[in-house]
Structure formats: C-alpha cells, structure tokens
C-alpha cells in the first residue's frame, strides 16, 4: 500500500486544517484538507494529488500531535490578545 508521510499541519484562515505530506512513491509534496475539528482530524486514505492513484496519510514521526499542541497554543494566545484589546477599548470608551 502506498503511503504519504505527513510533514506538516496548519490551520487555514477559514478554520480548516491542512495536512502537508510527501508521497512515498514519487516524492511529491501534497496538501490535503483534514476538516475543521482538531479532535477529529480526517486523515486516512486519500485519492492521490500526485498521480499515484491513492495513498494512506501516515504520521510515523508524530507530526500531527506536536503541531496540534502548537496550533492550540497559538489560538489561545490570539484569543488572549483579542480579549486584552477589547478590554483596552472598553476602558478608553469609559474613560
């Protein structure tokens, strides 16, 4: 069975997770959507984007859990900064 080894995971601006992988047959980099739910990422078998027919998205290096942790931290940090900016605006408005 052909596999594509996951090399990256990002959260797109529209809230969908994108998996970057390398096709283990031809070596091309491919990108697949993995859905919007961090707790239920859609991985597994895919129609190949590189012309190799199909492959299984595989994560032997544990990229996905590491990236999810980083992305969650980034999201929490963004939310914190947004809340801070909101509080400052409210304080100015009340000032």
Residues engaged in binding Zn ion (CB under 5 A): 23, 25-26, 50, 52
Pick between residue 2 and residue 68 the one whose CB is nearest to Zn ion: 2
Written as six digits, the tokens of 53 are 């027919």
Q: DSSP readout, 9-71? A: EEE-TTS-EEEEEEETTT--EEEEE--S-GGG---EEEE-SSSSSEEEEE-TT-HHHHHHHHH
Kindly state the smallest distance separating residue 42's Cβ from Zn ion, in Å.
20
Beta bridge partners of 5: 22, 58
Kindly state the smallest distance separating residue 22's Cβ from Zn ion, in Å.
9
Pick between residue 26 and residue 63 the one whose CB is nearest to Zn ion: 26
Kindly state the smallest distance separating residue 2's Cβ from Zn ion, in Å.
7
Pick between residue 51 and residue 62 the one whose CB is nearest to Zn ion: 51
């Amino acid at each position: 069975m052909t596999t594509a080894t996951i090399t990256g995971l990002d959260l797109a601006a529209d809230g969908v997770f994108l998996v970057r992988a390398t096709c283990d047959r031809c070596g091309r980099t491919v990108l697949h959507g993995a859905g919007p739910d961090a707790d239920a990422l859609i991985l597994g078998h895919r129609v190949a984007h590189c012309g190799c027919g199909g492959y299984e998205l595989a994560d032997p290096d544990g990229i996905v859990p590491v990236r999810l942790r980083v992305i969650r931290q980034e999201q929490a940090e963004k939310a914190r900064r947004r809340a801070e900016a909101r509080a400052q605006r409210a304080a100015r408005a009340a000032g």
